[in-house]
């Protein structure tokens, strides 16, 4: 039985925990006394507890994040109730800042703040020693031989053991494979935890690419880079792109987060060589409003950004996933709408509309009083109202974001969307109008079948907007059949006619590359 269980609750099964694999890889001589136990947040807490206790561990380490802290708190509480002597160690961004007052922190024996890759092993050695007996036992309860809160020093990246060998064949076949060539971010955006990680630190390129080669040799096809600014250091990003170009094979897919206004010619030349849909860039724009950008200490050159978008859309097959945030201090709906319209004109395949979250440790709290920023007290700590956007309007924007994701970002209704705002000055205003109508009609934002979306789009365009029935129906049906394995869509018959179920959909990115 392992002495140490490394555990976390992933958002979904497909998300293999990168952090746990780093901890396991750097346990040294303790690695043979440890195991990884991954769960998902929709599992029953008692089932998770039972699975962990089956290993009869002495130490359980949990990775704690904004998306799993509530469920993990319940699991930890149950573990301490059933096995009070079990040592619980926490780590992760959610417990690395503002630890005082957190229920899960109070329940745990130790909390490691910061990058715990190496520190976790040190703490486990101190607790277990060589005697197979925890050193923190006392006749009247466990005494504090180690601090409750333990700050981890930044580990030298050259000394970290690689986690990539710990991805199993099952992981490579069915899960997202996370990789990183660097850590940290040079920017100081106040809503982001990465703004606290200065300076940027890079892994040795040769060793990193050797790890990527081993993953490729084992059959890995999808690589998600978690680097916050992949294109910051030109020699490294060029070497990585050239590496994958030289080893290109059908089905390979690469995801990078990029700085939107930095795309020099050397990178452009490499990017152009990749097949359509093979590379995805996640581009954090967040706001186009200059005063709001100053409020959150964000720097970007909007002219260069626009030129880079033009290049990517006109000269490459890159899939662009661009981010905007609702609720930033000083920005109202009108300003956000102008930015949204500007982004639509730039033509990314997806626009991810995020609602501002107050992550623990981020300096955005300095604006709370001036801009009357009120956040939800529980994860994910989303903004509820601001000086510029009252609660009711923020609720409208939450619905707008949800409907945009399932209608526009899904890639199912690309041509139909053009009908929605054709001849209109503002795509934002038109989609917000449709979003309000859709909520009034359906009274829900989740569990909406695809054929229902098609029908309500038809009803809205023909009945509310007065568009030609035949044109609307043919456009929707063309969108519908761009995805293979779809049964017939009957929009011209009775509104309550039975619609066929939607069969397995193609990958979202591929829908955006199909001709409209």
pLDDT at residue number 511: 59
**Would you call the peptide bond into 380 cis, given omega within 30 degrees of 0 as the criterion?**
yes
- Considering the domain boundaries, does residue 272 fall inside one? yes
The pLDDT of residue 506 is above 70: no
Question: Are 315 and 365 in a shared domain?
Answer: yes
pLDDT, mean of residues 113-121: 97
- For residues 366 and 453, membership in a common domain is answered with no
pTM score, two decimals?
A: 0.89
Residue 317 within any structural domain of the chain: yes
Instruction: Classify residue 170: in a domain, yes or no.
Output: no
How many folded domains does the chain comprise? 3
Residue 139 and residue 221 in one domain: no
Domain end point (choices 389, 424, 450): 389
CATH number at residue 73: 3.40.50.280
Domain that holds residue 380: 176-389
CATH number of the domain enclosing 217: 3.80.30.20
Secondary structure of 188-206 in HEC code, one letter for each residue: CCCCCHHHHCCCCEECCHH
Q: Is residue 343 part of a domain?
A: yes
Report the pLDDT value the prediction gives residue 515, as an integer from 0 to 100.
56
> Final residue of a domain: which of 101, 134, 151?
151
Q: In Å, how far are 159, 173, 212, 247 from 221, measured between CA atoms?
A: 27, 8, 11, 11
Asked if residue 256 and residue 114 are part of one domain, the reply reads no
Residue 350 backbone dihedrals phi, psi, to 5 degrees: -135, 140
Residue 319: the pLDDT is 97
Alpha carbon 261 to its chain centroid, in Å, reads: 21
Range with lowest mean pLDDT among 70-79, 130-139, 260-269: 130-139
pLDDT tens digits, 333-369: 999 999 999 999 999 999 999 999 999 999 999 999 9
One domain, residues 209 and 339: yes
Assigned domain for 32 exists = yes
Same structural domain for residues 15 and 131?
yes
Q: Are residues 434 and 475 in the same domain?
A: yes
Same domain, 291 and 383: yes
pLDDT tens sequence across 415-446 = 999 999 988 899 999 999 999 999 999 999 99
Q: Are residues 96 and 200 located together in one domain of the fold? A: no
Q: Does a structural domain hold residue 455?
A: yes
Q: What is the distance between the alpha carbons of residues 106 and 62, in angstroms, rounded to a whole number?
A: 14
Length of the chain counted residue by residue: 516
Say yes or no: 73 and 194 in one domain. Answer: no
Q: What are residue 179's DSSP bridge partners? A: 225
Same domain (yes/no): 370, 232: yes
Alpha carbon 269 to chain centroid, angstroms:
28
Judge whether 230 lies within some domain.
yes
* 260 within a domain of the structure (yes/no): yes
CA dist 428 and 395 (Å) reads 16
The secondary structure of 351-396, three-state, reads EEEEECECCCCCHHHHHCCCCCCEECCCCCCEEEECCCCCHHHHHH
> What average pLDDT does this structure show over 488-494?
64
* CA 348 – CA 354 distance, rounded (Å): 16
Please, are residues 16 and 224 in contact by the beta-carbon 8 Å criterion?
A: no
pLDDT of residue 509: 56
The last residue of one of the domains, among 116, 151, 186, is: 151
73 shares its domain with 192: no
């Amino acid at each position: 039985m392992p002495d140490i269980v490394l555990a976390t609750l992933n958002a979904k099964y497909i998300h293999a925990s990168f952090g746990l694999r780093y901890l396991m890889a750097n346990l040294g001589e303790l690695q043979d006394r440890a195991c990884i136990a991954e769960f998902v947040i929709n599992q029953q807490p008692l089932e998770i507890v039972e699975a962990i206790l089956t290993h009869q561990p002495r130490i359980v380490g949990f990775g704690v994040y904004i998306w799993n802290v509530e469920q993990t708190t319940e699991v930890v509480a149950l573990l301490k109730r059933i096995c009070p002597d079990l040592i619980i160690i926490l780590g992760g961004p959610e417990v690395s800042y503002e630890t005082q007052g957190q229920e899960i922190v109070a329940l745990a024996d130790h909390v490691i703040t910061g990058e715990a890759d190496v520190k976790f092993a040190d703490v486990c050695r101190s607790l277990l020693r060589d005697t197979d007996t925890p050193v923190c036992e006392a006749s009247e309860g466990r005494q504090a031989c180690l601090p409750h809160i333990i700050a981890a020093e930044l580990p030298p990246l050259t000394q970290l053991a690689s986690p990539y060998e710990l991805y199993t064949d099952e992981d490579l076949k069915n899960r997202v494979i996370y990789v990183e060539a660097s850590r940290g971010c040079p920017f100081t955006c106040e809503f982001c935890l990465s703004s606290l990680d200065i300076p940027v630190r890079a892994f040795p390129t040769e060793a990193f690419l050797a790890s990527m080669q081993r993953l490729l040799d084992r059959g890995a096809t999808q690589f998600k880079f978690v680097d916050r600014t992949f294109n910051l250091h030109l020699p490294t990003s060029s070497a990585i792109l050239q590496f994958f170009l030289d080893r290109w094979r059908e089905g390979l897919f690469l995801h990078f987060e990029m700085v939107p206004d930095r795309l020099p010619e050397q990178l452009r030349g490499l990017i152009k060589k990749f097949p359509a849909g093979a590379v995805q860039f996640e581009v954090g724009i967040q706001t186009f409003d200059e005063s709001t950008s100053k409020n959150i200490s964000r720097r970007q050159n909007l002219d260069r950004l626009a030129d880079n978008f033009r290049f990517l859309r006109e000269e490459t097959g890159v899939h662009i996933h661009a981010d905007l945030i609702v609720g930033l201090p000083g920005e109202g709906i009108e300003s956000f709408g102008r930015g949204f319209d500007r982004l639509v004109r730039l033509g990314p395949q997806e626009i991810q509309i995020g609602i501002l979250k107050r992550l623990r440790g981020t300096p955005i709290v300095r604006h709370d009083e001036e801009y009357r920023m009120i956040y939800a007290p529980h994860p994910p700590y989303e903004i509820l109202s601001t000086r510029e956007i009252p609660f009711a309007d923020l609720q409208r924007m939450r619905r707008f974001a949800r409907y945009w994701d399932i209608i526009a970002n899904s890639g199912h209704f690309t041509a139909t969307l053009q009908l929605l705002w054709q001849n209109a000055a503002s795509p934002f205003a038109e989609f917000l109008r449709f979003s309000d109508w859709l909520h009034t009609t359906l009274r829900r934002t989740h569990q909406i079948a695809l054929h229902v979306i098609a029908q309500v789009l038809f009803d809205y365009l023909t009945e509310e907007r007065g568009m030609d029935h035949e044109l609307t129906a043919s456009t929707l049906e063309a969108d519908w059949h761009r995805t293979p394995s779809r049964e017939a869509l009957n929009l011209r018959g009775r509104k309550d006619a039975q619609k066929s179920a939607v069969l397995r959909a193609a990958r979202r990115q591929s829908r955006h590359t199909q001709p409209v």
